[in-house]
Amino acid sequence: MTQTPKKLWGGRFAEATDGLVELFNASVGFDQRLFEQDIRGSLAHAAMLGKTGILQPLEVKQIQDGLNAILEDIRAGNFEWKLSLEDVHMNIESALRDRIGPVAGKLHTARSRNDQVAVDFRLFVKDAALELASLCRGLRAVMVSEAEKYLGGGQGAGVETTLELRVDAEAVPPAPLILPGYTHLQVAQPILLSHWFLAYAEMLERDESRFLDAAKRMDESPLGSSALAGTPWPIDRDMTARELGFARPTRNSLDGVGSRDFALEFLAACSINMAHLSRLSEEMVLYSSFEFGFVTLPDSHTTGSSIMPQKKNPDVSELARGKAGRVFGDLMALLTVVKGTPLAYNKDLQEDKEPVFDAFDTVSIVLRLYAEMLPKAVWHAETCEKAAARGFSTATDLADHLALGGLPFREAHEVVGKLVGYCVQYGKQLWELSSEELKAAHPSLNSSVAEKLSVQNSVRSRMSFGGTAPERVREALGAAKSRL
């Protein structure tokens, strides 16, 4: 391999870095993404060096003017990133030296690349956590709006969001839309579609809070920790923390440069959020299939087949489901990196950025896509309600009826279980049984119980707090809107 020139840190080295080592060692291919954060950190550090008298005012101005000019060059695409300079930090420092001369070297006074990279990364991850919290809130608002749309009575799009929500008046049902609820993917009990939407709204609310909590815990500036032990220079870490928008400086220099739990917590929150979105995706794939037929997804968020002209594939949901594993892998990758690293900084920690970048990019696009897609999807009330009536979904209502009459619930459960077996044998539904057939199962039963076995009555009866009865769902909807 060819040899490369000495580095800015090359004073004690008599031999240039081997080319293959250089390729293996470099991170500028991905960490150049931190250029905004790196320059922000350097501007704050320079201002602090000036305030404390470590640098002269003219030196501070030269450095800050140079950094701002470099920032504009990078934004305009006029900056050459050099692999030989390893990373974003050394590329910018080298460019600053070329632009303003030897005074650029004074910027690194009382600072190490260890605390420099730590502050850049914290700035990025904190902003990423806040952005994903905002996107979770946006999708929450969509879930709440859709819940209102399908609750009946011509209501819809009642939640103010930054998203454009278009409600098709013809798609709004006059009565609450009933959906089959499942356990073990077997029809269990009827629920309201609005109740289903609000379940995901609850998950997203917790996801949002996890991102916000993570942002609070990482709201500390490691700048000033230097390599690992602090610095003898009379720096003001509180000033740089304030300048960068952090609540406070980190309390321990070893922890400041050597810890990545803030990134792990961010990735954990991303993973939980993607688990929720993957569950949603699985249901959208199933419910939009021909066999279910509950919902029609918009053409704008589906694709076709290169050979089968009839196909309409739920690619957004399938990809979201698949990419959940990718985000889980990002978390596992960083856990594996940090588990064996002694304090403080180790080159292993260079591997912290790509998983975070990947998870952030993946989660943000999935949240945006669902916020766009769900308001354009159309749910089919008649198909959903027919499906909700299948599979003896109101059997529990019949058992509850017997229990309310004084029969112990376990006995009532057995009576109804035998009736279901009878219906399966003779191809009937519970509400189709005659008085004689019902009385043969239990003396208190007759055909008058049939009305209790409709999906509408079943849903209306679920009046417990958090239940699927329309009154309870309206209360939950109001509470969800107020929390937004």
Catalytic residues: 184, 305
C-alpha radius of gyration, the chain, whole number: 30
Distances from the Cα of 31 to the Cα of 74, 89, 226, angstroms: 14, 9, 20
Query: Buried b / exposed e across 329-338, counting CB within 10 Å, b at 16+?
Result: ebbebbeebb
Task: Tell me the HSE value of 411 on the side-chain side, using a 13 A CA sphere.
Answer: 9
Which one, of 415, 409, 411, lies nearest residue 430 by Cα? 415
What's the CA gap between 340 and 345, in Å, rounded? 12
Q: How many residues does the chain have?
A: 484
Spatial neighbors of 476 by CB under 8 A, at least 6 apart, are 195, 198, 466
What's the CA gap between 73 and 38, in Å, rounded? 14
Spatial neighbors of 374 by CB under 8 A, at least 6 apart, are 142, 143, 146
* CB 449 within 8 Å of CB 170: no
What's the CA gap between 190 and 384, in Å, rounded? 10
Any idea what DSSP says for residue 342? P
